[in-house]
Amino acid sequence: MERNLEKTYDPSIVEDRLYKKWIDKNYFHAEVDESKKPFTIVIPPPNITGQLHMGHALDNTLQDILIRYKRMQGFNALWQPGTDHASIATEVKIVNQMASEGLTKEDLGREGFMERAWKWKEEYGGIIIDQLKKLGASCDWERERFTLDEGCSDAVLEVFVRLYEKGYIYRGAKIINWCPVCQTTISDAEVEHEEKQGNFWHIKYPIKDSDEFIQVATTRPETMLGDTAVAVHPEDERYAHLIGKKVVLPLVNREIPVIADEYVDKEFGTGVVKITPAHDPNDFEVGLRHELPQINVMNDDGSINEEGGKYKGLSRYDARKAVVKDLEELGFLVKIEDHKHNVGMHDRCNTVVEPLIKMQWFLAMEELAKPAIEAYKKGDLKFVPDRFGKVYLHWLENIRDWCISRQLWWGHRVPAYYCSDCKEIIVSKEVPSQCKCGSEKIHQDEDSLDTWFSSALWPFSTLGWPNNTKDLEYFYPTDVLVTGYDIIFFWVVRMVFSAIEHTDKLPFHTVLIHGLVRDAQGRKMSKSLGNGIDPLEIIEKYGSDALRLTLVTGNAPGNDMRFHWERVESSRNFGNKIWNASRFILMNLENTSIEEINLSELTQADKWILSKVNKLAQDVTDNMDNYDLGIAVGKLYDFIWEEFCDWYIEMVKPRLYNEEDTTKNAALWTLKTVLIQSLKLLHPYMPFITEEIFTFIEEKEESIMISEWPKYKEEWNFEKDEQEIEIIKEAVRGIRNVRAEMNVPPSKKAKVFVVSEKESIKEIFTKAKVFFSTLGYASEVVVQEDKGGIDTDAVSTVIPDATIFMPFAELIDIEKEIERLEKEKGKLEKELERSTKMLANESFVSKAPANKLEEEKAKLEKYRTMMNQVKERIDQLTSR
């Protein structure tokens, strides 16, 4: 092996080159292969308006880790990519662009606007895909889909027609979320609730033909113009005598009834609620129960319409001021209270959403929800962590019919056609030429479908449904969905009931939920706070691997994480650690032919590290199978940094530098083997640096991506050697701690005595002399049974069954050594007290598992032995 790694790792040079290699080699592509078991993930399709943000980076990093892991395990791994047309977000962008040119949608007409929208998509729609590639996403880009492409559009039309024919899709006037700026209905997903400072206005409603009045409180006094009742709780004795009577609505002078309904909370406020069915979803339901009229007092732009009388033409907020002013002047305003409450805002334009009754298309949810509920209750659908399954269940068990139509042009147009003559509604995938009445005066519904309607079909529409394709048969159902907890209701639920309804199968068996990436102060990243962090900026400065490692380290499913720049630097430093260790190994392998070895040729240290990486493979595999990706990478980090780089490499250096050492070949074989195993385990997390090193050190394979995932091997299990090296390490740590407390520099060597009456301990240290002397800064290592020949001024450290002495009295402050031993004695006294009390506790002894009990007894014995050794040493030093 003659080539070597560059002195420093530069991700800006390496990452683009390697990603191109993977693409050119077609490693990401998956075809139907019955000889392999498939593993499929569909990407949560990012909006074509999107720029890569930290949420995208986390979500896609987790997916890439899983797909790379499964690919290396031999699965036929497909990561299905694509983008979402994002009706509202995209249309807003295009309309704003047109406005800067002095154009409106109406100026272009629907066809002209759609032509412009597709051009916009072609120009800007692929930006986020290119950014995902910078992240290292190993999607099958040959299969990239778009929610408005021909296949996905065909699936949408098929589903609409099927559901309509089954009676699940219907058209009706119901209350919906309305954006007065975007002039469209919006889904719950696009409504963000923000706490805002507002007011409670307390208003008198006079009882008809009486001096009595009833008092209501409202946060939106302008909507009282559309009141059609006031409600009290049927068991509220204060108002029982008023039920059935009428009140005169102030300012409007309309007589409206006093009704009784359990919706009213008699403990809240005055216990009286104004009912405005056309402007509040809860009031709408009350209105249906009591057959109340629905009076809409607002235009689509949020201004007051003719139903608002004298306030007609005012904006909703100007109307509020005018209504309050008139109420006060006429003596109806009792008081105004400050009140903080959640206000629904449209997340696209930051406009307060207005509940309005509109004629819309709806999907009836009651029957569709039942099998989705059953799938979770039976355990066929799992959430990680499981607590989010309860969120899913709660949403489904309380689900309302879904408003699926939008007043937009960009999107899937509702496939409903109206006959101008007989008013017949025709729902069809194909454009009808005439109505059944014979009329050819047919026009299509102007509305488009909610974006979620198409993305609900994503797991199967991307694989060819409604056609029975080979891809669909082989890769579907998919395996795992990775997504944030904020869209369980809006997307996960809809995918599940849609898949069961249209394919008779769940879309996936597991939903891996992650949290949000917050800033260092724990705040949600947002434009308004200006605390967002661009992942591409991190990649440019530190590389993709460093960002990926940062996002997953310490990350537990479902939990939010805080972003700290220091953690990115730490991740970068970890990459440099691996790089430097690999360069060291490669330099020692240079021009060297490693011979195959028999495991019996390995030294104690070789067996220890081989056994460690063997168990690491098993642990990491178990963690990843359980989706504990953060725990898995934590174990990898600790092993590579500490066990391999800081311990083993230092242990073998004397053997590498000694040409006469007969174990040098074993050391080189072990170094290479363990490095390759470590790189493979780390590859899903840090794909670029692991690939670059792997292609240098493993000449037999062309890429780590398609190499075999490490498996546990029983023949690599060296339990005895592991235990022995741990004893050596404890001794080394003790020596280093003592020297550090005494400020002895590493360059100062000293003779080290290992004193033990146990033959097994003496044998361990005798075998380990070569590397123990290096690690312990020893000029010589002497292993003996007693303290004979050891200067009484020697300092010491105690380990189980042995004491380590270092006779360099000229460097030692005896008083400080006694002080240190007294501290150690104090710590041991606490441990002895704790352990003794625990073993004297009958409850613990009777309930603890046998292995736990034995473990505690062994600890107690160890502490007693160490205490005797410490006391003996203190006596020696104080008696001199």
pLDDT digits (tens, 9 = 90+) for 20-73: 999 999 999 999 999 999 999 999 999 998 888 898 999 999 999 999 999 999
Residue 811 has pLDDT above 70, yes or no: no
Alpha helices (H) along 557-686: 565-589, 604-625, 629-638, 649-656, 664-682
Residue ranges for the known binding site are 527
The two tokens of residue 653 are 């250096």
Strands (DSSP E) along 766-807, which ranges?
A: 778-784, 795-799, 802-806
Residue-level pLDDT at 615? 98
Strands (DSSP E) along 128-243, which ranges?
A: 145-146, 169-179, 184-186, 191-206, 213-218, 229-232
Residue-level pLDDT at 669? 96
Give the C-alpha separation, 423 to 416, whole Å. 12
Give the C-alpha separation, 860 to 862, whole Å. 5
Residue-level pLDDT at 3? 59
Higher pLDDT, 227 or 188: 227
In the chain, the percentage of residues whose pLDDT exceeds 90 is: 77
Residue-level pLDDT at 469? 96
Best CA proximity match to 43, nearest among 16, 67, 26: 67
**Cα→Cα distances 98→172, 230, 256, Å:** 33, 46, 47
Residue-level pLDDT at 741? 80
Residue-level pLDDT at 2? 45
Q: How confident is the model at residue 270 (pLDDT cuts 50, 70, 90)?
A: confident
Residue 520 has pLDDT above 80, yes or no: yes
Q: Are 506 and 377 in contact (CB under 8 A)?
A: no
Higher pLDDT, 828 or 812: 828
Q: Are 525 and 54 in contact (CB under 8 A)?
A: yes
Give the C-alpha separation, 533 to 609, whole Å. 40
User: Which residues, at least 6 apart from 562, have a Cβ–Cβ distance to it below 8 Å?
Assistant: 518, 519, 520, 521, 522
The two tokens of residue 374 are 């059953």
Residue 810 has pLDDT above 60, yes or no: no
Residue 354 has pLDDT above 60, yes or no: yes
Q: How confident is the model at residue 1 (pLDDT cuts 50, 70, 90)?
A: very low
**Cα→Cα distances 572→8, 13, 548, Å:** 12, 15, 10
Please state which of the ranges 289-293, 342-346, 614-618, 830-834 shows the lowest mean pLDDT. 342-346
The two tokens of residue 821 are 């031993």
Please state which of the ranges 68-77, 312-321, 574-583, 845-854 shows the lowest mean pLDDT. 845-854
**411: alpha, beta or left? (left if phi > 0; alpha if psi -120 to 50):** left
Instruction: Indicate the pairing of strand 750-755 with strand 802-806.
Output: antiparallel
Higher pLDDT, 23 or 4: 23
User: Which residues, at least 6 apart from 363, have a Cβ–Cβ distance to it below 8 Å?
Assistant: 163, 168, 169, 401, 402, 404
User: Which residues, at least 6 apart from 329, have a Cβ–Cβ distance to it below 8 Å?
Assistant: none
Best CA proximity match to 81, nearest among 67, 70, 92, 71: 67
Q: How confident is the model at residue 187 (pLDDT cuts 50, 70, 90)?
A: confident
Instruction: Indicate the pairing of strand 229-232 with strand 272-275.
Output: antiparallel
Give the C-alpha separation, 848 to 381, whole Å. 35
Residue 601 has pLDDT above 80, yes or no: yes
Please report, for the chain, the start and end positions of each structural domain, with discontinuous segments joined by +: 184-355, 564-707, 722-878
Which amino acid belongs to residue 612? Answer: K
Alpha helices (H) along 100-149: 105-124, 127-135
Residue-level pLDDT at 792? 78
Helix (H, G, I), strand (E, B) or coil at 753: strand
Residue-level pLDDT at 793? 74
User: Which residues, at least 6 apart from 431, have a Cβ–Cβ distance to it below 8 Å?
Assistant: 417, 444
184-355: CATH superfamily: Valyl/Leucyl/Isoleucyl-tRNA synthetase, editing domain (3.90.740.10)
Best CA proximity match to 781, nearest among 773, 793, 789: 773
Residue 523 has pLDDT above 90, yes or no: no
Residue-level pLDDT at 196? 86
Please state which of the ranges 200-214, 374-388, 548-562, 795-809 shows the lowest mean pLDDT. 795-809
Higher pLDDT, 695 or 739: 695
pLDDT digits (tens, 9 = 90+) for 465-504: 999 999 999 999 999 999 998 888 789 999 999 999 999 9
Domain 184-355 shares a fold with domain 564-707: no
In the chain, the percentage of residues whose pLDDT exceeds 70 is: 98
pLDDT digits (tens, 9 = 90+) for 735-776: 999 888 876 788 888 899 999 999 999 999 999 998 899 999
User: What is the DSSP secondary-structure string of 667-699?
Assistant: HHHHHHHHHHHHHHHHTTTSHHHHHHHHHHH-T
Q: How confident is the model at residue 880 (pLDDT cuts 50, 70, 90)?
A: low
564-707: CATH superfamily: Isoleucyl-tRNA Synthetase; Domain 1 (1.10.730.10)
- HEC states along 467-490? CCCHHHHHHCCCCEEEEEHHHHHH
Residue ranges for the known binding site for ATP are 527
Q: Are 543 and 16 in contact (CB under 8 A)?
A: no
pLDDT digits (tens, 9 = 90+) for 318-351: 999 999 999 999 999 999 998 888 888 887 788 8
Which amino acid belongs to residue 797? Answer: T
Residue 420 has pLDDT above 50, yes or no: yes
Residue-level pLDDT at 808? 59
Residue-level pLDDT at 487? 80
Q: How many CA atoms lie within 13 A of 354 on its CB side?
A: 27
